[in-house]
């Protein structure tokens, strides 16, 4: 494990004065009701306090084919505490997919392949890329040599090596990075630039779309953050160089440049602290769970799951829901968790199903917020908190006490909203639990789920912190 990786884990577990974290299934005593679903461990789950060596997730809803690797759909999830029902998704296209992909480039090392377009303009020669030319900074032989030539005139010209990107949201900070090094001493001091491109401005070399870096004799990881101006079918990450009279400070372009590259990465900036992730294909990438949080990806169109049988919480009038999620969009109303089919956690006193709860991300379309609500047999009490603008990864913790009329919602530790509105009376219900979609039909969640815990009681401060710490570690969140 590299020093950076160990730091990523250590920071997650030593916060709020709590130096330990415990598997959330350890929260459950014999009398506790609820359920635990965690995608981070494919090979075992807890039942009655014991680790059960059996697959915890299956590709099909019948539980025939275990989930063994990233890129596979999840049709069945075991309740890891053995108290709640399995979650299922019988419809193939609606199954969330196991993923811990953070590097959004289609390939990160083979620059000689067709994945990387070698583009030129105004008559510049096509760049020459030689794969496996030199020792890379991680000790392999995957350093690629790149030879670029720009014409020696004052006309605008550009030579670049580009990889396509897909549907990167407008205005969201993204971070490009790559290792670069001069091929030999004669190249030291020349420059190479990182660019992003979309069709809205049709320009590589203006404003904040370009970041210039000077070649050195040793490997340097260069990094730059940008944001796109518009959604376009043409979005690219590229590196190379330009010259001309229209750009900013690149006039003294070196006409010929020879350098080594390795390990390109393009991530949302709030994941830029994660280490480099090798990507070969969409299903062949560095999926080391000690470096990259493992979650279930929901597409925001039709993905979701629901409990194969109802979750009986009629023995309790208190509930705590913990969830670690990465929210990728605020555009539409979305369900993370909802306890009953009819949306009655969100409803008024006239709702047919008392004893319900729900977490929205968001409730109001376009609002960068979360919404937690609980209902006894009265109207639901909602706690709306923000701003948490997508893309964002958060550990959510909502609790509700029906007889005490207390509803509390925490995000990444601190209380962000609380209310003493009358929740009515009665107990929690016996309903189907839905994850990612209301009634398996509407309000689809766009994001990743790193773990969901439902328990029919309020947690002690220490219990809550240790469980939040576990979920923070599982999701890569650094708690304050």
Interface contacts to other proteins, rule CB under 8 A: 59, 61, 71-73, 90-95, 97, 101, 104, 106, 164-168, 231, 233, 281-284, 299, 301-303, 328, 332-333, 343, 346-347, 363, 365, 440-444
Q: How far is the CB of 301 from other proteins (least distance, A)?
A: 5
User: Which of 408, 442, 444 minimizes the C-alpha distance to 303?
Assistant: 444
Mention every residue, 6+ apart, whose C-beta is less than 8 A from residue 62. 75, 76
The position carrying tokens 């956690």 is 345
DSSP letter at 200 equals T
Q: How far is the CB of 107 from other proteins (least distance, A)?
A: 9
Grouping H, G, I as helix, E, B as strand and the rest as coil, residue 250 is: coil
CA dist., res. 111 & res. 116, Å (int)? 6
CA dist., res. 323 & res. 297, Å (int)? 14
Angle, alpha carbons 406-412-414 (nearest 5°): 50
Q: How far is the CB of 233 from other proteins (least distance, A)?
A: 6
Task: Closer to other proteins by CB, 202 or 441: give it.
Answer: 441
Q: Please state the length of the chain.
A: 480
Q: How far is the CB of 143 from other proteins (least distance, A)?
A: 24
Task: Closer to other proteins by CB, 49 or 366: give it.
Answer: 366
Enter the tokens of residue 142: 């995957």
Task: Closer to other proteins by CB, 381 or 469: give it.
Answer: 381
Enter the tokens of residue 20: 């330990």
Q: How far is the CB of 72 from other proteins (least distance, A)?
A: 7
- CA distances 366 to 346, 388, 390, Å, are 18, 11, 10
What b/e sequence results for 387-414 when a residue is b if at least 16 CB atoms lie within 10 Å of its CB, and e otherwise? ebebbbbbbbbbbbbbeebbbbbbbbbe
Task: Closer to other proteins by CB, 62 or 246: give it.
Answer: 62
Angle, alpha carbons 378-451-323 (nearest 5°): 35
Task: Closer to other proteins by CB, 70 or 479: give it.
Answer: 70
Task: Closer to other proteins by CB, 328 or 452: give it.
Answer: 328
Task: Closer to other proteins by CB, 81 or 102: give it.
Answer: 102
Q: How far is the CB of 243 from other proteins (least distance, A)?
A: 32
Q: How far is the CB of 88 from other proteins (least distance, A)?
A: 10
């Amino acid at each position: 494990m590299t020093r950076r990786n160990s730091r990523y884990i250590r920071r997650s577990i030593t916060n709020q004065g709590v130096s330990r974290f415990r598997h959330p299934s350890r929260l459950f005593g014999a009398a506790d009701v609820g359920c635990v679903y965690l995608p981070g461990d494919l090979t075992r789950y807890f039942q009655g306090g014991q680790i059960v060596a059996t697959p915890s997730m299956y590709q099909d809803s019948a539980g025939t084919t275990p989930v063994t690797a990233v890129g596979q759909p999840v049709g069945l999830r075991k309740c890891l505490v053995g108290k709640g029902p399995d979650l299922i998704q019988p419809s193939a296209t609606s199954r969330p997919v196991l993923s811990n992909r953070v590097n959004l480039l289609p390939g990160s090392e083979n620059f000689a392949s067709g994945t990387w377009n070698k583009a030129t303009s105004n008559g510049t020669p096509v760049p020459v890329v030689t794969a496996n030319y030199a020792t890379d900074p991680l000790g392999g032989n995957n350093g690629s040599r790149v030879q670029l030539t720009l014409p020696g005139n004052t006309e605008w010209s550009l030579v670049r090596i580009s990889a396509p990107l897909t549907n990167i949201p407008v205005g969201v900070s993204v971070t490009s990075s790559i290792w670069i090094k001069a091929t030999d001493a004669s190249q030291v001091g020349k420059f190479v630039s990182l660019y992003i491109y979309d069709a809205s401005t049709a320009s590589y070399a203006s404003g904040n779309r370009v970041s210039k870096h000077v070649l050195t004799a040793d490997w340097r990881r260069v990094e730059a953050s940008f944001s796109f101006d518009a959604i376009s079918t043409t979005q690219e990450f590229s590196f190379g160089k330009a010259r001309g009279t229209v750009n900013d400070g690149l006039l003294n372009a070196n006409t010929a440049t020879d350098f080594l590259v390795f390990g390109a990465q393009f991530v949302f900036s709030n994941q830029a602290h994660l280490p480099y992730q090798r990507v070969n294909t969409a299903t062949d990438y560095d999926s080391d769970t000690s470096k990259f949080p493992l979650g279930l990806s929901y597409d925001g169109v039709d993905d979701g799951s629901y409990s194969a049988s109802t979750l009986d919480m009629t023995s309790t009038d208190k509930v705590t829901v913990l969830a670690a999620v990465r929210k990728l969009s605020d555009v539409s109303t979305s369900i993370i968790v909802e306890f009953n089919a009819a949306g009655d956690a969100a409803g008024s006193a006239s709702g047919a199903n008392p004893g319900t709860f729900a977490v929205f991300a968001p409730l109001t379309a376009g609002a960068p917020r979360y919404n937690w609500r609980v209902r006894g047999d009265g109207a639901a009490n909602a706690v709306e908190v923000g701003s948490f603008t997508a893309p964002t990864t958060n550990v959510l913790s909502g609790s509700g006490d029906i007889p005490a009329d207390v509803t509390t919602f925490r995000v990444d530790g601190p209380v962000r909203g609380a209310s003493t509105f009358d929740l009515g009376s009665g107990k929690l219900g016996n309903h189907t639990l839905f994850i990612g979609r209301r009634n398996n039909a509407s309000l689809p969640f766009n994001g990743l789920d790193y773990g969901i815990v439902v328990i029919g009681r309020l947690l002690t401060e220490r219990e809550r912190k240790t469980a939040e710490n576990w979920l923070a570690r599982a999701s890569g969140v650094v708690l304050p």
